[in-house]
Amino acid sequence: MPTTAPRRPLSSPANRRAFLTATAATVLTSATAVASAAPATTRPAAAARPTTGEAALATLLEGNRRWAKIRSQHPHEDRARRIEVAHEQHPFAVVLSCVDSRVPPELVFDQGLGDLLCIRTAGEVLDEAVLGSIQYGVAELHIPLVLVLGHERCGAVAATIEQLRTGKEVPGHIARLVEGIGPSAWACRDEPGDWVDHTVAAHAERMRDALRADVAFRPATVVAARYDLDSGRVRVLR
Ligand SMILES: [Zn+2]
């Protein structure tokens, strides 16, 4: 016999209210307010967190150099780190990247638990949920860097170019991705060479420029970069 009462479904009004309250309290409470609840002895790494966009970018690129040379240190993956960040988080960079399974930001930049606020959509396409998530990082968590990461041989970019070339209808929700990437591809259609690779860079730069133009992200440094699947290296696009 079960010893606990059966759970009410989340869709019941009382449970939904409780969930929303708990979510809001957990997600939106400022880090400093929660900091007082955490034991001081469990926060030694907080001092090492980069506090400027340039320092954050340098830390990411240093981690990427380790990754590319197969010298990853896998920082912040131990039990002490898990305890340290259980009640507060101070990630130092927002990474907006593709969903591609070969480009996981924590591995590519050799970072660990609580270091990066990662947002991933196919082809780094922006929508309101993505913008809200980035704003949460910049405004609430005071993250100094937003990095938009495109990558070599991006399937979402390739699908977009295929659609532009053939005019064939794209199925279902994928059409939204093509719509988001299409202007980037169209802008570099006459450049000699690999249209997909040109679009990868052009699209990351266009997403970067859209974020830079938005007053919500003014407090942060916003950069675009391209990840090379063959070498493992990230190159900043300036
Ligand atoms: Zn991709």
104 neighbors 149 (Cβ within 8 angstroms): no
Interval between CA 52 and ligand 1 midpoint (Å): 28
Interval between CA 158 and ligand 1 midpoint (Å): 9
Residue 16 has pLDDT above 70, yes or no: no
Task: Name the DSSP class of 41.
Answer: G
Interval between CA 103 and ligand 1 midpoint (Å): 8
Q: What is the mean pLDDT of residues 118-122?
A: 98
Q: For 182-236, what is each residue's pLDDT tens digit?
A: 999 999 999 999 999 999 999 999 999 999 999 999 999 999 999 999 999 999 9
In a 13 Å sphere around the CA of 145, the CA atoms on its Cβ side amount to 27
Q: How far apart are CA 212 and CA 235, in angstroms?
A: 19
Taking Cα atoms as reference points, which of 124, 114, 121, 141 lies closest to residue 33?
Answer: 141
Interval between CA 77 and ligand 1 midpoint (Å): 26
Q: What is the mean pLDDT of residues 138-147?
A: 98
Interval between CA 186 and ligand 1 midpoint (Å): 18
Q: For 71-82, what is each residue's pLDDT tens digit?
A: 999 999 999 999
Query: Which pLDDT does position 238 carry in this prediction?
Result: 74
Structure tokens at 87: 């009640």
**Domains of the chain in sequence order:** 52-237 (3.40.1050.10)
Interval between CA 124 and ligand 1 midpoint (Å): 8
Residue 131 has pLDDT above 90, yes or no: yes
Share of the chain above pLDDT 70, in %: 80
Sign of dihedral through CA atoms 132, 133, 135, 136? positive
Query: Which pLDDT does position 72 carry in this prediction?
Result: 98
Band (48; pLDDT cuts 50, 70, 90): confident
Interval between CA 123 and ligand 1 midpoint (Å): 5
146 neighbors 221 (Cβ within 8 angstroms): yes
158 neighbors 196 (Cβ within 8 angstroms): yes
Interval between CA 10 and ligand 1 midpoint (Å): 34
Taking Cα atoms as reference points, which of 150, 171, 167, 159 lies closest to residue 227?
Answer: 150
Averaged pLDDT of the chain: 86
Interval between CA 138 and ligand 1 midpoint (Å): 24
Band (62; pLDDT cuts 50, 70, 90): very high
Q: What is the mean pLDDT of residues 20-24?
A: 38
Interval between CA 230 and ligand 1 midpoint (Å): 14
Interval between CA 101 and ligand 1 midpoint (Å): 9
Interval between CA 96 and ligand 1 midpoint (Å): 11
Which DSSP string corresponds to 183-223?
A: HHHHHTTTSSS-HHHHHHHHHHHHHHHHHHTSGGGTTSEEE
Interval between CA 149 and ligand 1 midpoint (Å): 9
In a 13 Å sphere around the CA of 1, the CA atoms on its Cβ side amount to 2
Interval between CA 150 and ligand 1 midpoint (Å): 7
Residue 41 has pLDDT above 50, yes or no: no
